């Protein structure tokens, strides 16, 4: 069964001087302020589209890697994934770097790196972002 998730943004004003609020409608987990400055300069307690993409990518990748490892008979005890999305004003998103450190009993480092590369290529968020260069650093704890 397919699922649909909804987020809604209310934006007021121009790009440079305006502000908005992103609401996580499906989950109801909250509303998050967003501004151009939080996107192109410092966050100052506000989010950005790139941070939301980083959240989506790190969680999707972790789920895909966990599933792949379990399917291969080596389920992880823990995965710590960071996604860094780089945004260049005037250009757009110039790259995403995933870093994962895993605790996976019974698996060696080359096997973990291979599983992580597979998850990077096949997680749905990676696939949705195919026009962006995605790099990966993977290691065991």
Question: How much of the chain exceeds pLDDT 70, in percent?
Answer: 100
Helix or strand (DSSP H, E) at 34: strand 31-34
In a domain, 1, yes or no: no
Is 56 part of any domain? yes
Q: Is residue 2 part of a domain?
A: no
What mean pLDDT value characterizes the chain?
A: 97
Residue 17 binned pLDDT confidence (cut-offs 50, 70, 90): very high
User: For the purposes of burial, counting CB atoms within 10 Å of the CB of 79, is it exposed (0-12), middle (13-18) or buried (19 or more)?
Assistant: buried
**Cα dist from 41 to 31, 46, 138, whole Å:** 21, 11, 29
Residue 63 located in a structural domain? yes
Determine the angle formed by the axes of helices 49-71 and 109-122, rounding to 10 degrees: 130
Task: Look at residue 27 and tell me if it is in a domain.
Answer: yes
Instruction: Identify whether 132 is part of a domain.
Output: yes
Range of the domain at 18: 7-40
Q: Assign 106 a pLDDT band (cuts: 50, 70, 90).
A: very high
128 and 59 belong to one structural domain: yes
Average pLDDT over residues 80-84: 98
Q: What is the CATH number of the domain that holds 77?
A: 3.30.300.20
Q: Render pLDDT for 116-129 as a digit per residue (tens, 0 to 9).
A: 999 999 999 999 99
What is the arithmetic mean of pLDDT over 40-58? 96
Q: Do 19 and 57 sit in the same domain of this protein?
A: no
**Residues 126, 69 within the same domain:** yes
Instruction: Give the pLDDT of residue 80.
Output: 98
């Amino acid at each position: 069964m397919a699922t649909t998730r909804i987020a809604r943004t209310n934006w007021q004003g121009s790009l440079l001087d305006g502000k908005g609020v992103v609401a996580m409608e499906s989950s109801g987990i909250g509303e998050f302020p967003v501004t151009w400055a939080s996107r192109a300069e410092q966050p100052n307690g506000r989010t950005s589209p790139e941070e939301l993409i980083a959240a989506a990518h790190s969680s999707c990748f972790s789920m895909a890697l966990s599933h792949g490892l379990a399917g291969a008979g080596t389920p992880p005890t823990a995965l710590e994934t960071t996604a860094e999305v780089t945004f260049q004003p005037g250009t757009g998103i110039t790259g995403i770097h995933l870093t994962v450190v895993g605790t996976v009993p019974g698996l060696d480092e080359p096997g973990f790196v291979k599983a992580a590369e597979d998850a990077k290529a096949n997680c749905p968020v990676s696939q949705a972002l195919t026009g962006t260069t995605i790099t990966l650093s993977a290691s065991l704890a």
